[in-house]
Structure 1
Amino acid sequence: MKPAIDRRLAVVTGGCGGMGIACAREFGGSHDLLLTDISAERVARTQEQLRDEGYIVRDCVAGDLADADVIDKLMQAIDSHGRLGVLIHTAGVSSGMAEWHRILRTNVIGTRLLLGAIESRLSKGSVGVLIASVAGHLAPADREVDALLTSNTPPEELLGKMEQHLNRLAAAQGQNGSFVYSGLSGPAYGVSKRATIREAALRSAAWAKKGARIVSISPGIIWTPMGRYEVEHGQAASIVLEQTSLHRWGTAMDIARAAAFLASDDASFITGTDLRIDGGMVPARLGEGY
């Protein structure tokens, strides 16, 4: 009798988004899927769609990952359906989609709660792939902000302290003319994605002790509903598209295939780092001094 194939779980957050669905399809051939997204209706519909395509979707969890109760439900689902193989964390909101406090709540607090909870489920071979953004590379390296966003400061206190920092960063960026922002959403998005990149770096040693790896990916302009919305509604995103050296949009599969490589044994010596997939936008943006 042939031994049973060991199919671990691939947990995909933001599982209804363009990158989330692409990653679910990419990993669904070798992993059983567990999806989470904020909308119960959408995540149930996506689960049904993927099952109709032949993928094994063990469960779906709906809700805001910045809510501890939702995190608990997700961890219970993981515990019920198998060993964690891969975490693909695509959930997030962009500068054109929300006010600054929701951006920080989702992108920073939600990510922190998710990673803090999932670390007890790691085993040898587990891999985390966090979706950051090129905005995290362009955001200022501010020691006070970096320290605050990677601290254990309670959520409401963190948001209160961050508002003054965002006002300061917005004023400085407005003076040098490097970005086009509306209110505090732009700087909030940039520092939130810088925080995502730093989460992968700072947690990598603890993950390594369990035989696990964690990395981040920083996409540029990607042809997803979120990416198109940003270009249509935000000047900053339009500038990014114009400055992409390869002169095309990236696709969700560009990200999914890179995630698959980073989660594979071929990438077994890669951890705590960020892979920028931006069509050459960041070096073009920053010029020869990069």
Structure 2
Amino acid sequence: MPALTAKQDKALATTPVEELLALPPLQAEQIKDSLRAYQLSKRGNSLRVMAEAVRWGKRGARVNTISPGIIITPLANDELKGPRGAGYRRMLEVSAAGRAGTPDEVGTVGALLMGPDGALITGSDFLMDGGVTAAYWFGELAQE
């Protein structure tokens, strides 16, 4: 998804939840497919984590998010065998890691973020997709 304006990013980050659906970029005519809706929701999550880290930091709390890619779970196994399976398998093949992740790998990042070794980490979104997103921007999946 291309960058949003600074004003749009701030609105996604700080608009009260009950008012989010009134934002112009979230109007039905702006969202042509489920991929765009998903991308906006992920962007909103990472921006809101940054904004909330400021607020919650005053109380001594850390706020982060983990954005996993394809993690081998029963649902992912079904998806990989389903109608979109070929596309998902292609994403994994051309990613830097060349594979899907495991629940244990996600748990390891969660443990870091919640434990004493992650004490300085707050307001961060940890993208752990094995490089799939990188492939969409700079690799074999990039749009020309």
Whether TM-score is above 0.5 comes out as yes
Alpha-carbon shift at residue 270 of structure 1 (Å): 0.7
What is the match of residue 198 of structure 1?
Answer: 47
What is the match of residue 165 of structure 1?
Answer: 30
Contact 1:140 1:191 in 2 (8 A): no
Question: Runs of at least 4 residues of structure 1 off by over 4 A?
Answer: none
Q: Which runs of 5 or more residues in structure 2 are unaligned?
A: 140-144
| 1:241 is the counterpart of 2:103 | no
Q: Which has the larger strand fraction?
A: 1
Equivalent AA in structure 2 for residue 146 of structure 1: D
Alpha-carbon shift at residue 242 of structure 1 (Å): 2.6
Secondary structure of the structure 2 residue equivalent to 1:276: strand
Q: Deviations over 1:210-242 (max 9, x none)?
A: 000011112121112333344323365344223
Contact 1:204 1:271 in 2 (8 A): yes
What is the match of residue 149 of structure 1?
Answer: 12
Q: Give distance in 2, aligned partners of 1:281 and 1:187.
A: 17
Secondary structure of the structure 2 residue equivalent to 1:154: helix
What is the match of residue 271 of structure 1?
Answer: 122
Q: TM-score, normalised by structure 2?
A: 0.76
What is the match of residue 286 of structure 1?
Answer: 137
Contact 1:145 1:165 in 2 (8 A): no
Aligned pair count? Answer: 134
Q: Give distance in 1, aligned partners of 2:54 and 2:60.
A: 10
Q: Deviations over 1:65-108 (max 9, x none)?
A: xxxxxxxxxxxxxxxxxxxxxxxxxxxxxxxxxxxxxxxxxxxx
Q: TM-score, normalised by structure 1?
A: 0.41
Q: Give distance in 1, aligned partners of 2:88 and 2:50.
A: 26
Secondary structure of the structure 1 residue equivalent to 2:127: strand
Contact 1:221 1:240 in 2 (8 A): no
Match of 1:219 among 68, 93, 100: 68
Alpha-carbon shift at residue 147 of structure 1 (Å): 4.6
Q: Which has the larger helix fraction?
A: 2
Alpha-carbon shift at residue 165 of structure 1 (Å): 1.7
What is the match of residue 61 of structure 1?
Answer: none
Contact 1:244 1:284 in 2 (8 A): yes
Contact 1:243 1:285 in 2 (8 A): no
Alpha-carbon shift at residue 284 of structure 1 (Å): 3.2
Answer 1 or 2: higher relative contact order, Cα 8 Å, separation at least 6: 2
Larger radius of gyration: 1
Alpha-carbon shift at residue 207 of structure 1 (Å): 1.0
